Homo-oligomer: A and B are copies of this chain.
Amino acid sequence: MSALKELVFVGLGLHDEKGISLQGLEESRTADQVFIELYTSILPCFSMQRFEAFINKQIHVVSRHDLEEECGRVLLKAAEKGKAVFLVPGDPFIATTHVALRIAAKKRGVKTRIVHGASVMSAIIGLSGLHNYKFGKTVTIPFPENLSETPYNVIAQNKKLGLHTLCLLDIKTDEKRFLSISEALMLLLKIEQKRKQGVITQDTIAVGVARAGSGAPALKADFVKDIVEFNFGDPPQSLIFPGDLHFMEAEALVALAGAPKRVKRLGK
């Protein structure tokens, strides 16, 4: 048992068990107990077995119930006795759901540390070739049963300011359900029909990104009417609606994301 009472949040990155940093691997190897959650996002090719072999110890899977209803008690108890590592997809606090656990640990006198991992946010932006500092507020597009006009409003607001919008698409990992780019566009077009503000029409440029962080991501920029038909393959998928384009961004969309050549003329 390590003498230190601590809870170390370790990011797993984006795709498989090789997304973790060397630091994260070392923390896992020296931990007294290792926990993992796999419900906030998907790691398409992550193998628990391979990862357990890497660190040479057993990993306990914690569920949404363990964390939300039980307030992460099992993790806190482990951290009160020694060093507990909590493996989380992506970068640990980007999905916001684990902040309550960090506060609870602090209140119990348990030290917390974070070992960061690649986040889907910066990965998608990096792949797109668009400038990071030109993105406004991010939004998640929910499944049709939770239809919301918020994404439409956020995209509209960002566009008005000339900013790009990153849209994450809803997932339900327990049901293996993932909103697709096509479905998300259909939902937005439906809201457009009602709101008629010209925010997302058939002729709007959108950028679809699938499997960011994998060895074979898909990236395609095109008009909505064409992107709806594009086959992006397996999830996870996401969408960007560009605002004003710098000439270098327009060139990147054509060269890297297969946008129609006339998109170049939109760059300033």
**A208 proximal to B (CB < 8 A):** no
**A93 proximal to B (CB < 8 A):** yes
| Bound Cα distance from A215 to B122, whole angstroms | 22
A137 touches B138 (CB 8 A): no
A133 touches B140 (CB 8 A): yes
A154-182 vs B, Cβ < 8 Å mask (1 yes, 0 no) = 00010001010000000000000000000
Which chain A residues (14-72) contact chain B, with CB distance < 8 Å? 14, 16-23, 25-26
A256 touches B91 (CB 8 A): no
Complex interface: chain B residues within 8 A of A106 (CB): 255-256
**A100 proximal to B (CB < 8 A):** yes
**A238 proximal to B (CB < 8 A):** no
* Chain B residue, CB-CB nearest to A249: B99
A68-104 vs B, Cβ < 8 Å mask (1 yes, 0 no) = 0000000000000000000000111111100110110
CB within 8 A of A103: which of B92, B215, B255? B255
B91 touches A118 (CB 8 A): yes
**A195 proximal to B (CB < 8 A):** no
* Chain B residue, CB-CB nearest to A102: B256
B133 touches A252 (CB 8 A): no
* Chain B residue, CB-CB nearest to A14: B116
| Bound Cα distance from A69 to B20, whole angstroms | 35
Complex interface: chain B residues within 8 A of A11 (CB): 118
**A127 proximal to B (CB < 8 A):** yes
Chain A interfacial positions (CB closer than 8 Å to B): 11, 13-14, 16-23, 25-26, 90-96, 99-100, 102-103, 106-107, 113-114, 116-119, 121-123, 125-127, 129, 131-140, 157, 161, 163, 212-213, 215, 248, 251-252, 255-256
